[in-house]
Chain A
Amino acid sequence: SQQGEEDPQALSIQEGENATMNCSYKTSINNLQWYRQNSGRGLVHLILIRSNEREKHSGRLRVTLDTSKKSSSLLITASRAADTASYFCATDYGNKLVFGAGTILRVKS
């Protein structure tokens, strides 16, 4: 059983376009994290947003958090072919991470 659900399940865009992925979760959180997974580099931590933050930026990534709606979004601007991967949100529950099912992003060059 997974904490979060991402949508869309899959997203296909052209290089240079922006990609937005959404995540919903069920219980109260301390923080929410986004991870990227591809076959070449495994699961890589992208960004963490704490429960008292509403927005955070890191390079071409922008994450928002709405604790009242128990949802978060990840925006990747000016996408590149190398951004092709699966993206997961994860919440911490005790000391374990609880992941959603992920969004598969394909960036076409």
Chain B
Amino acid sequence: GAGVSQSPRYKVAKRGQDVALRCDPISGHVSLFWYQQALGQGPEFLTYFQNEAQLDKSGLPSDRFFAERPEGSVSTLKIQRTQQEDSAVYLCASSLVGLGSYNEQFFGPGTRLTVL
């Protein structure tokens, strides 16, 4: 079956522009995660959804970052007024079940954002 998909794969934005990054999780997966990966670093957690509920947004670096998953499937990460330090790969992951048990997270290919 299809894995996690993300679009666009690459995005170049001018500083100050707003961007929207899309994630299509594996069908039926309850949990969805967003991570930010800076060059040469490991991914860092941004936010977590269980169905449509955003249960943890502790990793969002500023109020310019906003994520939603209105119908409990597709998710969008929006970055307003982009800054150069926002340049990174944004990874989305989904897993079958939520709280209280371990379930493998399946990652998408990521969106590489470059802010000029």
Chain A residues lying within 8 Å of B43, measured Cβ to Cβ, are: 43, 88, 97, 99
Tell me, rounded to whole Å, the shortest Cβ–Cβ distance linking A47 to chain B.
11
Q: In the complex, A42 Cα to B48 Cα: how many Å?
A: 20
- Contact status B91-A94, CB under 8 Å: no
Cβ contacts B59-78/A at 8 Å (1 or 0 each) = 10000000000000000000
- Contact status B56-A96, CB under 8 Å: yes
Interface residue stretch chosen among B11-19, B20-28, B103-111: B103-111
Tell me, rounded to whole Å, the shortest Cβ–Cβ distance linking B43 to chain A.
5
Tell me, rounded to whole Å, the shortest Cβ–Cβ distance linking A103 to chain B.
10
- Contact status B44-A99, CB under 8 Å: yes
Chain A residues lying within 8 Å of B91, measured Cβ to Cβ, are: 42-43
- Contact status B42-A88, CB under 8 Å: yes
Q: In the complex, A60 Cα to B95 Cα: how many Å?
A: 26
Tell me, rounded to whole Å, the shortest Cβ–Cβ distance linking A46 to chain B.
11
Pick the residue among B56, B99, B104, B108 that contacts A45 (CB under 8 A): B104
Q: In the complex, A48 Cα to B8 Cα: how many Å?
A: 30
* B82 at interface by CB-CB < 8 Å: no
- Contact status A101-B42, CB under 8 Å: yes
Q: List which B70-116 residues lie within 8 A (CB) of chain A.
A: 91, 93, 98-99, 102, 104-110
- Contact status A30-B102, CB under 8 Å: yes
- Contact status B56-A95, CB under 8 Å: yes
Cβ contacts B25-67/A at 8 Å (1 or 0 each) = 0000001010100001111110010000001100100000000
Tell me, rounded to whole Å, the shortest Cβ–Cβ distance linking A61 to chain B.
15
* A92 at interface by CB-CB < 8 Å: yes
Pick the residue among A30, A31, A45 that contacts B105 (CB under 8 A): A45
Pick the residue among A94, A97, A98 that contacts B56 (CB under 8 A): A94
What 6 new A-B contacts, CB under 8 Å, besides A96-B45, A97-B33? Answer: A4-B42, A48-B104, A92-B102, A95-B98, A99-B43, A101-B41
26 pairs from A and B in contact (CB 8 Å cutoff): A2-B41, A4-B42, A30-B102, A31-B102, A42-B109, A43-B43, A43-B91, A43-B93, A43-B110, A45-B104, A88-B42, A90-B42, A94-B56, A95-B31, A95-B33, A95-B48, A95-B56, A95-B98, A96-B33, A96-B45, A96-B56, A97-B43, A98-B45, A99-B43, A99-B44, A101-B40
